[in-house]
């Protein structure tokens, strides 16, 4: 018990927790900044949608699918020269955030496209018949109607990104994953490894349940029952 208390109160462990949360939240935010326009593009340019364009849809869809199909460890290696160019380093926390964003943004784009497709076409047709332009349809009709699904997608995205954070140790990044690997596994200090791993699981559950609750709260179909 004393060993556990010593581990969880150590400055290194607390720093690892904060760094994990920083990497996860910053990566998720940047992934959505890139993923939302991509998702809107994929949905809007698809056949029968609000501004169909087969060529753009095919090109964007192909790029998104290619990046999504590359295993994260391989992507981590392939994008190091780009990370060096954009963030100034191939290794470290900022470089790892860059790699996470590259991997997660296409995933987010597909989830947003899927959420938009769940919106009742009749609602969109009604907005079009009242003279709404495409921007108004997306911002005032589709986004509000798809909000519960988008939040659930956000829960999946943030927990997936959090699940990738232990790989930060491959490029000298920090966080709970790096703590579990370097201080627990490599130094045969199993208590540190298990505590860090358990805390990662707890953080995942807290984020997942919190966002699922928010999605249910925002779902007017449930609230109106």
Predicted local confidence at residue 14, as pLDDT: 87
pLDDT in tens, 12-64: 888 888 998 999 999 999 999 999 999 999 999 998 888 899 999 999 999 99
Residue of 97, 197, 111 whose CA lies nearest to 146:
111
Instruction: Write phi, then psi, for 22 (nearest 5 degrees).
Output: -60, -50
Residue 196 domain flag: yes
Range of the domain at 67: 2-219
Residue 47 domain flag: yes
Instruction: Give CA–CA dist 65/105, Å, rounded.
Output: 11
> Contact 137/128 with Cβ under 8 angstroms?
yes
Higher pLDDT, residue 185 or 19: 19
> Contact 198/134 with Cβ under 8 angstroms?
no
Residues in the chain: 225
Residue 225 domain flag: no
Predicted local confidence at residue 2, as pLDDT: 67
Confidence class for position 185, pLDDT limits 50, 70, 90: low
Residue 15 domain flag: yes
Residue 41 domain flag: yes
Number of domains in the chain: 1
Confidence class for position 214, pLDDT limits 50, 70, 90: confident
Instruction: Give CA–CA dist 105/36, Å, rounded.
Output: 8
* Residue 24's CATH number: 1.10.3720.10
pLDDT in tens, 96-139: 999 999 999 999 999 999 999 988 888 888 888 888 888 899 98
Structure tokens at 16: 């690892």
Instruction: Provide, for the chain, the percentages of residues in helix, strand and coil under a 3-state DSSP scheme, each rounded to the nearest 5.
Output: 85, 0, 15
pLDDT in tens, 70-98: 988 898 888 889 988 888 888 888 889 99
Structure tokens at 186: 């490599």
Instruction: Give CA–CA dist 32/26, Å, rounded.
Output: 10
Predicted local confidence at residue 145, as pLDDT: 87
* C-alpha 85, offset from chain centre: 23
Residue 224 domain flag: no
């Amino acid at each position: 018990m004393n060993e556990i208390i010593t581990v969880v109160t150590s400055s290194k462990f607390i720093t690892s927790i904060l760094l994990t949360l920083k990497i996860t939240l910053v990566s998720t935010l940047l992934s959505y900044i890139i993923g939302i326009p991509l998702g809107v593009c994929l949905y809007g340019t698809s056949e029968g949608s609000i501004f169909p364009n087969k060529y753009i849809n095919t090109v964007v869809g192909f790029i998104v699918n290619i990046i999504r199909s590359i295993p994260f460890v391989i992507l981590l290696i392939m994008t190091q020269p780009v990370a060096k160019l954009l963030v100034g380093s191939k290794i470290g926390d900022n470089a790892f955030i860059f790699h996470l964003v590259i991997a997660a943004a296409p995933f987010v784009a597909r989830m947003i496209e899927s959420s938009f497709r769940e919106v009742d076409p009749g609602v969109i047709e009604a907005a079009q018949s009242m003279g709404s332009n495409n921007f108004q349809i997306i911002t005032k009709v589709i986004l509000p109607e798809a909000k519960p699904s988008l939040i659930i997608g956000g829960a999946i995205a943030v927990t997936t990104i959090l699940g990738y954070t232990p790989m930060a140790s491959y490029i000298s990044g920090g966080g709970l994953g790096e703590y579990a690997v370097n201080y627990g596994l490599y130094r045969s200090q199993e208590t540190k490894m298990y505590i860090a791993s358990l805390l990662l699981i707890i953080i995942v559950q807290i984020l997942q349940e919190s966002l699922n609750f928010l999605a249910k709260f925002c779902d007017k179909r449930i609230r109106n029952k």
